[in-house]
Structure 1
Amino acid sequence: MPATIVSPRLMRIGGGSVSQIAEVLGLFGLSRPLIVTDPWMVSSGTIDRCLAPLRAAGLAPAIFAETVPDPTDTVIAAGVAVLQAGDFDSLIGFGGGSPMDTAKAMAILAAAPAGARMRDFKVPAQADRAAVPVVCIPTTAGTGSEATRFTVITDTETDEKMLIAGLGALPLAAIVDHELTFSVPPRTTADTGIDSLTHALEAFVSKRANPHADSLALSAMRLIGRHLRIAYHQPRNAAAREAMMLGAMQAGLAFSNSSVALVHGMSRPIGAHFHVPHGLSNAMLLPAVTEFGLNDALPRYAEAARAIGVATVEDADQVAGSKLLEELRALNQELGVPTPREHGIPADRWEGLLPLMARQALASGSPANNPRVPEETEIIDLYRKVYG
């Protein structure tokens, strides 16, 4: 079956590359950017890493810093109002996944007819138009949003995390500078790192896998498997941070050209209803969901275990698969990943929302890409299993 391959037109990768943001804009004839970021990036001064080279080049960027974790449709609408009120020719998403996803959603909504809402673009709709190009600069090694054709936005009326996909969400360019991650705290390093590992693993075992995405997913798993623990324990280890940033980007390219699967389908409702950070909810789910589908794609999971570095070519596939499960559980333990119960989610509220969460997971489409496609009752059983 033919595969459709997409990626940003340009990616600048390496330490200090954020200083080249004005040059990157200039390559595309852009000079009037609106920077989309979050309040912490402004208050901490981290935004100056982006502002300084732009101002040195004679540009006068404006800032929209109202991004929130798990971006909402109301924040997108507010951002679009700022975008349309000014004379901007581009958006710069600067920060973690939330600012980048916000910038991408703003570009999509701003291109829509008056009165359109973000829910009009959720999968299976195709969001292929953008009002202005988006340049992404990640400050965490996790979401891979700088390289994907996806954005995830919460509908505030329904508490649904909506997957939005299309060429309108694909950045024009990305600047991937691992030096921006030196100050990321251990909890965020862990959550975003497991998020990127999940992207690579799900892309590799997905029913929509293809050779191009496979090569990126395997490379990402090699990098993340060898460097996540180091980056977590040694935050200023430049080699580990660089490897994690490259792995996260490759994982983003992999799932953008393949797909994510059941972990992500089940993760989004947890984030929407309980405001658990996306990477953390992925980590909560990853061992149990991997075990659920293991025997339906055993050769693939075994190859993933070898890429991550926990199995050898001499190990039979069943042995390698078992070692993968052991590694995912051990990684969660070492990186302090809590269960939903340990995270403080009340048991009665969790149980009461399970049918709705299972329906929302299935409606996202991602579970259909899983090696073993679950029924609604099986998703509910998995949610109960991971609760703890």
Structure 2
Amino acid sequence: MVNRMIFNQTGFFGRGAIQEIPAAAKSRGFTKAMVVTDPVLADPKNGTAKKVTDILDEAGIGYEVFTNVKANPPVECIQDGVEKFKASGADFLIGLGGGSPQDTCKGIGIVVANPEFGDVLSLEGTADTKNPAIPTFGVPTTAGTASETTINYVITDTANKRKFVAVDPHDIPVVAFVDPDLTDGMPRGLKVATGLDALTHAIEGYITPGAWALSDALCLKSIQMIAANLAKSADGDKEAGEEMAFASYINGMAYSNVGLGLVHGMAHPLGGRL
């Protein structure tokens, strides 16, 4: 049996990791970003998106901000993002946020590079895309989905009230920036919810039939880290929050490559009707 593992080309980890964005962009010849994030993070009162755009400003890298992001992104949001990207003159994407902004970003990047999938619905499952997505930097603000290091993304087919998963090695961000400074500000309830999501991913990744030695090692380590740090992180312990951010990424590398099990298989049909 042959096992395949697909990871980011590069990852930066630790407080202040987002400071590496300009160098990573310039080394690849990128000149303008489209930052895909949600309205809450883009709100000046929140300030999260501003932390990233200030860094781009200081480095002289142009950008536009796209905020038409909704939970479990609908087809229409991705199609809107595709048109906005094509009009922007940007040459790379920054997915900033939790799973929904990251998934929206992946969908945009894939469709721009593979316009024959412009209906978005045809991306369901393992679509036969020919081209890598527009280069994407994944910047998580939650410690749960690990979308910054997965080859999966979830889309909502609003017309038929269902969610579906797209699995495509072409969509993985080329660089991930796991900066706990961006996850510290999550409300307690969100820390708990996203932490339990990460735990679910790790358990599913461990028990799924596709698991093997390397994925087991990653999932088991993630479970250990979550068990030791989730409660403390929820109560505001910053060191524990840092460990949670890393634990999410570690198990994301595993479950992205071995598939998800029963819990997510049941949740997607139900979530599509909410």
Judge same fold: TM > 0.5, yes or no.
yes
Q: Which residue of 1 aligns with 2:35?
A: 35
User: CA shift at 1:130, angstroms?
Assistant: 3.5
- Tell me, in whole angstroms, the C-alpha distance in 2 between the residues paired with 1:268 and 1:56: 41
Match of 1:96 in 2: 98
Task: Determine if contact 1:15/1:177 at 8 Å carries over to the other structure.
Answer: yes
Alignment check: 8 A CA contact 1:16 1:177 kept = yes
Q: In the alignment, residue 153 of structure 1 is paired with which amino acid?
A: I
Whole-Å Cα distance in 2 between the matches of residues 268 and 131 of structure 1? 24
Task: Name the counterpart of 1:172.
Answer: 174
- 2: CA distance, partners of 1:126 / 1:190: 36
CA 1:82–1:227: 2 relative to 1, 3 Å: same
Q: Indicate the residue corresponding to 1:84 in structure 2.
A: 86
Q: How far off its partner does 1:131 sit?
A: 4.2
Residue identity opposite 1:266 in structure 2:
M
CA distance in 2, matches of 1:126, 1:255: 21
Indicate how the Cα distance of structure 1 residues 55 and 217 shifts in structure 2: closer, same or farther if over 3 A, else same: same
CA distance in 2, matches of 1:58, 1:162: 38
Kept in 1: contact 2:73–2:104 (CA 8 A): yes
Contact kept in structure 1, 2:39 and 2:67, CA below 8 Å: yes
Residue from 106, 109, 127 that aligns with 1:107:
109
Question: Cα deviations across residues 202-233 of structure 1 (Å, max 9, x unaligned)?
Answer: 1111100121111111111110011111111x
Distance between the aligned counterparts of 1:211 and 1:107, measured in 2? 32
1:145-184 → structure 2 map (5 Å cutoff): 145-184=147-186
CA contact (8 A) 2:191 2:233 kept: yes
The answer as to whether partners of 2:208 and 2:261 remain within 8 angstroms in 1 is yes
Q: What is the CA–CA distance in structure 2 between the aligned matches of 1:72 and 1:170, rounded to whole Å?
A: 20
**Aligned length in residues:** 272
Write the distance in 1 (CA, Å) between the matches of 2:81 and 2:273: 23
Unaligned residue ranges in structure 1 (runs of 5+) = 275-388
> Taking CA–CA contacts closer than 8 Å with sequence separation of 6 or more, which of the two structures ends up with the larger relative contact order?
2
CA distance in 1, matches of 2:265, 2:117: 29
Distance of 1:128 and 1:11 partners within structure 2: 25
Does the aligned pair in 2 maintain the 1:128–1:166 contact within 8 Å? no
In structure 2, C-alpha distance between the alignment counterparts of 1:73 and 1:111, rounded to whole Å: 17
Aligned positions of 1:1-388 closer than 5 A: 1-43=1-43, 44-113=46-115, 116-127=118-129, 129-232=131-234, 234-235=235-236, 237-274=237-274
Structure 1 counterpart SS, 2:73:
coil
Change (3 A) 1:213 1:255: same
| C-alpha displacement of 1:266 | 0.6
Aligned partners of 1:115, 1:255: CA distance in 2, in Å?
25
AA in 1 matched with 2:14 = G
Whole-angstrom distance in 2 between the partners of 1:156 and 1:95: 22
Structure 2: tracts of 5 or more residues without a match: none
What letter matches 2:168 in structure 1?
Answer: G
The aligned counterpart of 1:286 is none
Secondary structure at the aligned position of 2:159 is classed as coil
Q: CA deviation at 1:129?
A: 2.9
| 1:38/1:68 contact within 8 Å kept | yes
Determine which structure has the larger strand proportion and give its number.
Answer: 2
- Matches of 1:26 and 1:204, distance apart in 2: 38
Once the two structures are TM-superposed, the CA of residue 241 in structure 1 deviates from its matched residue by 0.4
Query: 1:129–1:167: 8 Å Cα contact kept in structure 2?
Result: no
Tell me the C-alpha RMSD between the 2 structures: 1.3
Equivalent residue letter for 2:26: G
Task: For residue 92 of structure 1, report the CA deviation from its aligned partner.
Answer: 0.2
1:126 CA displacement: 4.0
2:203 partner amino acid: L
For normalisation by structure 2, the TM-score amounts to: 0.96
C-alpha distance in 2 between matches for 1:124 and 1:20: 32
C-alpha distance in structure 2 between counterparts of 1:121 and 1:80, whole Å: 14
By how many angstroms is 1:23 displaced?
1.3
In structure 2, relative to structure 1, the CA distance for the partners of 1:127 and 1:245 (3 Å cut) is farther
Question: Could you tell me how far apart the structure 2 residues matched to 1:196 and 1:251 are?
Answer: 7
Structure 1 outlier segments of 4+, above 4 Å: none
* Deviation (angstroms), 1:128: 5.7
Distance 1:168 1:139 in 2: 23
Q: TM-score, normalised by structure 1?
A: 0.68
Q: Which amino acid aligns with 2:207?
A: V
Question: Matches of 2:168 and 2:131 in 1, distance apart?
Answer: 8
